[in-house]
Structures are given as structure tokens and as C-alpha cells.
């Protein structure tokens, strides 16, 4: 294997590992705390990408606002004081014809995903919490939710692929004779930052501590006065934000389409099981390990064999460590 | 009267474990509950702290009917239940467990001094404050459990079987600590199999059998220890 190939595998592994880590950590968080599998998690990645596109791109919200801006400007002249007030607003709307840009788009996408995650919890999960067989029911309801979101997005935005603007423009970086795109570099750097923020949230904030407390012992969590029924939706919101971030990054690499996120969800499940269900450090380490295995097998065999190698590794690991890489003992 | 239970019925599913139980605790009093296993002591406590629903009867705290309140609402009123079997957050440090003990807003302003109080009572917890709870010994876990309860600034502290499964020496240490908490004037209900431990702490005892109070002692200093053991085990001939 040449040095160039090794560098390409490392870069590719870091990128896929980052995307899996963002996605799987949310999945793992919900599993650990609410004890449910969220099959709409992949659709949230898609929602993140679409909302980032809608708020940033010239074809999204900015375009939808143009007729309003035009009519404000046209009607402003004849309508006195009120028109004078509205005129700058109309002119401003017309001036943003090129889109709001990603600086606005990404935060709005994150907000949007948090909101969708909350709505999803209220509609698809909350009615079943505490009922017998809830974990199975929720698999079905979230699957239904995913289907609803995918088709809803197709109806609203049409089947044509979208593309996010690049955040960093410029020639790719040359590392060890391999070209790494700036978008990839951004993903490699921003993911650990996001995961570090997640760590600080879970370790030092009151609500983060409460999420971990409910995950570890919900009975005792009740007894120290944690409102467990509020912690569940909070966990969904945090997890959805992580999925949204993953979507924003994915949208910068590939085309955005309604079915995106589905394959990532599958890999995220592999990562979560591989790393140990409910263990966040295990999930993150697992994500990068799986990322590297995928890239290596794609290089050595071919891209089509990568999933086969992945699942074979997973089965092998589970034979020797049934609870995954860092899954704790039965509690 | 600080705390009163009247005709309480509760249990799991269709099975009633607590069957019309009544008891009361006055301000500043330390009351012991004892009795055989499986007769409803823990179920009573779980109902009081809002973990399971009362089917009938009334639980009142400071004159307010708190039966079937949220567990959180009950903790906020200062009724703190330290559950049986050293329940903790196992993958969190001692410090984090104690921090969560002070989760309710009522305790915010006194957090630092509460930490000091707990560490003064259990110096071993301070030594191990950055250690994960699951790595502690059985005795230390029980100390931490009680410490978490104290962080919630109890007005009524309920300890469920604090001495269960502990070696005699550690049991003594724990009994001393509980007596010390009692001496600060906190009202307490202590449930334990070990009547001698209860006698060292409590002024009054209830014997609970078949989900109800079957005997209530007057002030324990007035009666003979042998008499109490007799209540428990029956007459020794």
C-alpha cells in the first residue's frame, strides 16, 4: 500500500467516522435514556440537510420571499408613513436574492431539527411511554414518522436533488500527496468540537447530568426530584440536533435528496451495537473504527464489499464481546 | 403533626401489599419501622415518595394531602426517601451523585454548605469524590446514598434498610452517622431489620406485618429491649 493510499484511507476514515459519530451518538443517547430505538433518526439527518438548504440557498426561503419584497416596494410609495417604514424591509428582502448563506442556514437547520425532534417525541413516542411493549410500538411509529418526513419533503421540495453551498471555498489541501477537500477538513475538525460540546453538556450542565441520571437509574432519578417526563423530550431534542448537524455536513459533501440518511442510519446502528448500546464513549470510538474499516475495505476490496466486511467485523466482535466494545455489564 | 399516613392501600397490579396502614410522625421525631420481609415496608415507602400510586387512603405532609403527587413534587416539599439496596447513579462520580441529590431548586442557595456537611459526616466520600460510584464498597455506597439524600435538605428523611448486607464494623460506623444526623434535629423514618440499630436512633417503633401496623411502641426508653425482641420473634419459652 502506497503512502498516498494510506493518507487517503485515513482522511476518508476520519470523514466517515465523524459522520457516524454524530449520528450514532444521538441514537445511543436516546437508547440509553429512553430505552427506545428511533428509526426516524435517519430522516432527521435529511431534515437537517433540507432545512440548511432552505434557509441558506438562493432557491429556498430567499426566493419564496421575493414576491413579498417586490409588492412591499411597489405599494410603499403611495401609502404614506407606514410605507416609509416598510420600504427598507422590502428593499432588504430584495437584496437577499442570493440566499441567506450558511451562517444563517446552519443555526436555523439545527433549531429546525430540535423542533422536529420535539414534535416527533410528542406525537410518536410520548403516547406509548410506560405502556407494555412500548419499545416495539415505537420502532413502528418512528418508522412511520420517517416515511412521512421523507415523502413530505418530496412533496414540498420536489424530487430534484439539492446542493448546499460550500462553506470554505478554495483548492483542496495537499496532505502526503493526497488531495483532501476543504469540506472534508471542516467535517474532520468540527465533529470533535461538537462531540466535546456534547460531553461538556452531559458532564457539567444540570440538564445534561439529569439525562445521564435517568439513563443510569430512572427510579433513583425520580427520588432526587428529576422530572423524568421532561428529560425524555430533552434527550430527543439533543439527539435530533446531532442528527441535524450530521445532515448539514453530509449535505455539503453529497447531493441532498429525500431518502438520504437511510444508509447512514444503518451504519449508525452498526456503530451503536459495535461500540456497546448506550455507551457514548464506546459509540464514538466505534464510529471511527467502523469508518476506518469501511474505507480500508473499500480500498482493498471495493466499495460494494465494504458493508459485507463491516457486518462480518460486527458479528466477529459480538461473538467475543456480546455487549459490544465498551458495553457495560448487566445492571 | 409533620407526617401522617391514614388507611393507605397500595401494591402492584391487582395485589395489595400495603393494606390499610396508618402511622404518624411528629416534627423532630425519629421513628423506626421493622418487621419481616415482604410485608409491605418498602412498598409503603415507595408509595409515600410517589413512585407507585396509592389506591386508597391519605398521605399528608405538613397538613397537605400529598398522596399521588409526582415524585418530584414530593422531593420539593423536603420529603426525601433514600431507597433500599444502595441505589445510585453507578457510572457517575461521588461528586456528581451528590450534585444530583441537590437537583431541586430549593437547595440551590445552600449547595456548598451541604457538600461540606456531607463530607464532614462521611470523610471517606470526600476522599473518593472523583471516583465512580460503582467502584465503591458496599458501606461507602450506603454512605453515598444517605449523602445524596442529605443534599436534598430533608425535612423528613426516610432511610430504607440502611444496614442491610453490611459487615458489623461498617454497620456500627453507619449507625453512628445516622444517629448524628438524628441529633441535628432532622425528622426521620428508619426502616431496618436490625432492631438494635433502630433502638439506638429512634424514640418510637412500629412493627409492620401483612401490610399494616400490628404494634406500636410508646417511647422506647420506657420499655425493655427484650420486650421489643419478643414482639418481633414471639415469646421465647
Mutate to test the interface with B, among A220, A327, A331 (most CBs of B within 10 A): A220
- Give the nearest chain A residue to B85 (CA atoms): A220
- Averaged over A37-60, what is the pLDDT? 89
Q: For residue B12, is pLDDT > 60?
A: yes
Q: Does the beta-carbon distance from A225 to B71 stay under 8 Å?
A: yes
Whether pLDDT at A71 is above 70: yes
Name the nearest CA neighbour of B195 among B236, B230, B143.
Answer: B230
- Band (A83; pLDDT cuts 50, 70, 90): low
Burial class (CB in 10 A: 0-12, 13-18, 19+), A35: middle
The pLDDT of residue B222 is: 63
CB atoms A225 and B152 under 8 Å: yes
Sign of CA dihedral A65, A105, A22, A234: negative
Q: Mind listing the pLDDT tens digit for each residue in A132-142?
A: 888 899 999 99
Q: What is the DSSP letter of B84?
A: S
A16: pLDDT strictly greater than 50: yes
pLDDT tens per residue, range B172-201? 889 999 999 999 989 999 998 888 888 888
- pLDDT of A73 reads 75
For A328, name the nearest residue in chain B, comparing CA atoms only: B91
Q: What is the DSSP letter of A100?
A: -
User: Hey, are the CB atoms on A223 and B90 less than 8 Å from each other?
Assistant: no
- How does the average pLDDT of chain A come out, rounded? 86
For chain B, the residues whose C-beta falls within 8 A of a C-beta of chain A are 49-51, 70-72, 75-76, 80-83, 87-92, 96, 99-101, 103-104, 148, 152
Q: How many C-beta atoms surround the C-beta of residue B76 within 10 A?
A: 17
pLDDT at A204 (0 to 100): 92
- Please give, rounded to a whole number of angstroms, the shortest distance from the CA of A137 to a CA of chain B: 22
Judge contact between B35 and B195, C-beta under 8 A: no
Model pLDDT, residue A74: 75
Give the chain A residue nearest B83 (alpha carbons): A220
Does position B234 have pLDDT exceeding 70, yes or no?
no
Select from A209, A220, A225 the Cβ nearest to the Cβ of B88: A220
Pairing label, strands B79-82, B15-25: unpaired
Percent of chain A with pLDDT over 70: 95
Distance from CA of A190 to the nearest CA of B (A): 27
Contact B88 A217 (CB under 8 A): yes
Q: Which of A206, A225, A331 sits opposite B90 (nearest CB)?
A: A331
Describe chain A by its helix, strand, coil percentages, rounded to 5.
Answer: 75, 0, 20
CB B76 within 8 A of CB B102: no
Query: How many DSSP H helices and E strands does chain B contain?
Result: 9, 10
Overall pTM > 0.90 = no
Residue with the three cell numbers 454497620: B171
User: Percent helix, strand and coil across chain B, each rounded to 5?
Assistant: 40, 25, 35
pLDDT score of A325 = 77
Q: What is the DSSP string of B111-132?
A: HHHHHHHHHHH-HHHHHTTTSB
Phi/psi of residue B36, each to 5°? Answer: -65, 160
List, for residues B125-170, the tens digit of each pLDDT value: 999 999 999 999 888 999 999 999 999 999 999 999 988 888 888 8
Specify the range with the lowest mean pLDDT, choosing from A9-13, A99-103, A182-186, B81-85. A99-103
Distance CA B161, CA B196 (A): 13
- The DSSP bridge pattern shows strands B3-12 and B54-61 to be antiparallel
Contact between chains at A222 and B50 (C-beta distance less than 8 A): yes
Contact B51 A209 (CB under 8 A): no
Alpha-carbon Rg for chain B in angstroms: 17
CB pairs under 8 A between A and B: 65
Query: HSE-up of B101 (CA within 13 Å, CB side)?
Result: 32
| Residue bearing the bigger pLDDT, B116 or A73 | B116
Average of pLDDT values for A95-102? 75
SS3 label, residue A229: helix
Question: A141-175 pLDDT, tens per residue?
Answer: 999 999 999 999 999 988 888 888 777 777 777 77
Of the ranges A90-94, A207-211, B62-66, which one carries the lowest mean pLDDT score? Answer: A90-94
Q: Is A299 helix (H, G, I), strand (E, B) or coil?
A: helix
Residues of B with Cβ-Cβ distance to A213 under 8 angstroms = 89, 92, 100
CB contact under 8 A, A212 and B92: yes
ipTM of the complex: 0.88
Residues A107, A112, A114, A118: what is their CA dihedral angle, to the nearest 10 degrees? 160
HSE (CB half, 13 Å, CA atoms) of A66?
12
Q: What is the pLDDT of residues A167-204, one digit of tens each?
A: 777 777 777 777 788 888 889 999 999 999 999 999 99
Quote the cell numbers at residue B134: 460503582
Cα B206 to Cα B229: distance, rounded to the nearest angstrom: 13
CA dihedral B183, B186, B189, B193 (to 10 degrees): -30
C-alpha–C-alpha distance, residues B35 and B217, integer Å: 13
Q: B231: closest CA among B203, B204, B206?
A: B206
pLDDT digits (tens, 9 = 90+) for B50-62: 999 999 999 999 9
Residue in A109, A126, A107 with CA at minimum distance from that of residue A118: A126
pLDDT of residue A133: 87
Q: Which three cell numbers stand for residue A39?
A: 428509526
Strands A173-175 and A178-180, by their bridges, are antiparallel
B23 by DSSP, 3-state: which? strand
Alpha-carbon distance of B130 to B144, in angstroms, equals 13
**Closest-CA distance of chain B to residue A257, Å:** 40
Distance (Å) of CA A6 to CA A9, A21, A215, A284, B133: 5, 21, 39, 22, 43
Q: Please name the member of B50, B82, B99 whose beta carbon is closest to the beta carbon of A209.
A: B99
Integer Cα distance of B14 and A234 in angstroms = 34
Q: Considering only CB atoms, which chain B residues are within 8 Å of A206?
A: 103
Among partner residues A212, A220, A227, which is closest to B87 by beta-carbon distance?
A220
| Mean pLDDT calculated for residue range B61-90 | 90
User: How many angstroms separate the CA atoms of A171 and A209, rounded?
Assistant: 43
pLDDT at A331: 40
Burial A79-99, CB ≥16 within 10 A → b, else e: eeeeeeeebeebeebeebeeb
**Inter-chain touch B103–A328, beta carbons under 8 Å:** no
Residue B48 has pLDDT above 70, yes or no: yes
Amino acid at each position: 500500500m502506497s503512502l498516498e493510499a494510506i493518507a487517503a484511507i485515513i482522511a476518508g476514515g476520519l470523514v466517515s467516522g465523524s459522520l457516524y459519530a454524530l449520528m450514532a451518538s444521538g441514537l445511543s443517547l436516546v437508547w440509553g435514556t429512553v430505552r427506545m430505538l428511533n428509526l426516524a433518526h435517519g430522516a432527521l439527518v435529511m431534515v437537517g440537510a433540507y432545512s440548511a438548504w432552505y434557509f441558506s440557498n438562493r432557491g429556498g426561503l430567499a426566493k419564496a420571499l421575493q414576491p413579498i419584497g417586490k409588492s412591499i416596494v411597489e405599494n410603499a410609495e403611495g401609502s404614506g408613513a407606514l410605507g416609509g417604514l416598510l420600504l427598507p424591509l422590502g428593499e432588504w428582502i430584495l437584496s437577499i436574492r442570493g440566499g441567506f448563506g450558511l451562517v444563517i442556514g446552519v443555526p436555523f437547520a439545527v433549531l429546525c431539527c430540535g423542533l422536529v425532534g420535539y414534535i416527533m417525541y410528542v406525537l410518536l413516542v410520548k403516547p406509548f411511554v410506560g405502556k407494555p411493549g412500548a419499545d416495539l410500538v415505537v420502532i413502528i411509529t418512528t418508522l412511520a414518522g420517517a416515511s412521512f418526513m421523507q415523502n413530505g419533503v418530496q412533496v414540498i421540495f420536489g424530487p430534484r436533488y439539492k446542493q448546499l453551498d460550500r462553506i470554505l471555498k478554495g483548492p483542496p489541501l495537499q496532505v502526503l500527496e493526497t488531495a483532501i477537500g476543504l469540506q472534508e477538513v471542516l467535517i474532520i475538525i468540527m465533529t470533535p468540537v461538537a462531540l466535546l460540546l456534547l460531553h461538556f453538556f452531559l458532564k457539567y450542565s444540570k440538564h445534561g447530568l439529569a439525562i445521564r441520571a435517568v439513563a443510569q437509574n430512572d427510579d433513583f432519578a425520580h427520588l432526587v426530584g428529576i422530572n423524568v417526563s421532561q428529560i425524555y423530550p430533552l434527550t430527543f431534542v439533543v439527539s435530533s440536533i446531532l442528527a441535524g448537524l450530521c445532515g448539514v455536513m453530509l449535505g455539503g459533501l453529497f447531493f441532498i435528496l429525500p431518502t438520504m440518511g437511510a444508509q447512514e442510519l444503518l451504519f449508525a446502528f452498526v456503530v451503536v451495537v459495535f461500540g456497546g448500546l448506550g455507551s457514548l464513549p464506546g459509540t464514538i470510538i466505534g464510529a471511527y473504527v467502523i469508518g476506518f474499516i469501511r474505507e480500508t475495505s473499500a480500498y482493498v476490496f471495493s466499495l460494494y464489499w465494504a458493508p459485507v466486511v463491516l457486518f462480518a467485523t460486527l458479528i466477529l466482535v459480538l461473538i467475543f464481546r456480546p455487549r459490544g466494545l465498551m458495553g457495560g455489564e448487566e445492571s | 403533626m409533620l407526617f401522617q399516613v391514614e388507611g393507605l392501600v397500595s401494591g402492584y397490579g391487582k395485589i395489595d401489599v400495603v393494606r390499610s396502614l396508618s402511622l404518624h410522625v411528629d416534627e423532630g421525631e425519629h421513628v423506626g419501622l421493622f418487621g419481616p420481609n415482604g410485608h409491605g415496608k418498602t412498598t409503603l415507602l415507595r408509595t409515600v415518595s410517589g413512585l407507585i400510586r396509592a389506591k386508597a387512603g391519605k398521605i399528608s405532609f405538613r397538613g397537605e394531602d400529598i398522596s399521588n403527587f409526582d415524585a418530584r413534587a414530593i422531593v420539593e416539599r423536603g420529603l426525601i426517601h433514600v431507597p433500599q439496596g444502595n441505589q445510585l447513579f453507578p457510572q457517575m462520580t461521588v461528586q456528581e451523585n451528590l450534585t444530583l441529590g441537590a437537583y431541586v431548586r430549593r437547595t440551590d442557595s445552600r449547595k456548598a454548605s451541604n457538600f461540606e456537611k456531607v463530607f464532614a459526616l462521611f470523610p471517606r466520600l470526600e476522599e473518593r469524590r472523583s471516583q465512580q460510584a460503582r467502584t465503591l464498597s458496599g458501606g461507602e455506597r450506603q454512605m453515598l446514598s444517605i449523602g445524596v439524600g442529605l443534599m436534598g435538605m430533608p425535612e423528613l428523611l426516610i432511610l430504607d434498610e440502611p444496614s442491610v448486607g453490611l459487615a458489623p464494623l461498617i454497620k456500627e460506623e453507619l449507625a453512628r452517622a445516622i444517629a448524628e444526623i438524628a441529633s441535628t434535629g432532622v425528622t426521620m423514618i428508619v426502616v431496618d431489620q436490625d432492631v438494635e440499630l433502630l433502638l439506638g436512633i429512634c424514640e418510637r417503633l412500629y412493627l409492620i406485618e401483612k401490610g399494616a401496623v400490628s404494634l406500636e411502641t410508646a417511647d422506647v426508653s420506657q420499655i425493655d429491649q427484650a420486650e421489643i425482641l419478643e414482639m418481633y420473634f414471639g415469646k421465647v419459652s
